[in-house]
Structure 1
Amino acid sequence: MTLIQLLLSIFLLFALSRVILRFRGGQLSPLEFAFWSILFVAAIFGIFLPEQTSQLAKILGIGRGADLVVYVSIVIIFYLVFRLYIMIENLRHEITEIVRKIALENVIKSKTKK
């Protein structure tokens, strides 16, 4: 086992433990739990069985296993950025609605005091 395999596997096992704890705490849905668990377990397998990623890459018409990992990682990152963007836009909309409601309540309160 190389040093990089050891370090990456420790990090991935730690990340997987966080996923399990958040799922048990009710902070992750079953679908989110499955997504992150599969992702981290696949990464662990990829670290210890790099020849398997190369074989899968060849089946998919990609030259090297490392290229496959990069392509899949980029797609996943784009998807996660999209999800974060949607989440931020929803929060922005909710904050706007709350601020409007509070402003209207303050106007009504100030008119009733006069």
Structure 2
Amino acid sequence: MQLIQILAIIFAVFAISRVILQVRANAMSRDSAIFWLFIWIAVILAVVFPNTLGYLAILTGVGRGVDVLIYLAIIVLFYLIYRIYVKMENIEREITTVVREIAIIEREKKEKKVKL
């Protein structure tokens, strides 16, 4: 086993430990944890069994196993960016709603003071 493979396995195990700790601390949902555990276990399997990527490359018609890995990584990154974008849009909508509600409450308070 080469040094890069050992480092990749160590990093993946570290990442798995972080996922588990975040689930225990209720900082990550179970769905997200399952997704990330799948990703990091796939990384370990790809490092331990590098020929599998070669078979996957043949199966998909891509030249090399590393190319398949890069294509999959790009697809996953685009998916994650999409999810972040959707969450940001929802947060912006929620903030707008809260700010409007606060403005209405503040206006009502001012109107009550003026009537007194």
Same fold (TM over 0.5): yes
Q: For residue 104 of structure 2, what is the amino acid of its counterpart?
A: L
Separation in 1, partners of 2:106, 2:32: 40
Question: Counterparts in 2 of 1:74-89, with a 5 A limit?
Answer: 74-89=74-89
Q: For residue 37 of structure 2, what is the amino acid of its counterpart?
A: S
Q: For residue 40 of structure 2, what is the amino acid of its counterpart?
A: F
Q: What are the superposed Cα offsets for residues 9-65 of structure 1, whole Å, 9 maximum, x if unpaired?
A: 111111111111222333333322221111100101111211111111111211110
Q: Name the residue aligned to 2:32.
A: 32
CA RMSD between the two structures: 1.2
Separation in 1, partners of 2:17, 2:60: 31
Q: What are the superposed Cα offsets for residues 46-94 of structure 1, whole Å, 9 maximum, x if unpaired?
A: 1121111111111121111001000110110000000000000000000
% same residue: 40
Runs of 4+ in 1 over 4 A off after TM superposition: none
Output the TM-score relative to the length of structure 1: 0.92
Q: For residue 89 of structure 2, what is the amino acid of its counterpart?
A: E
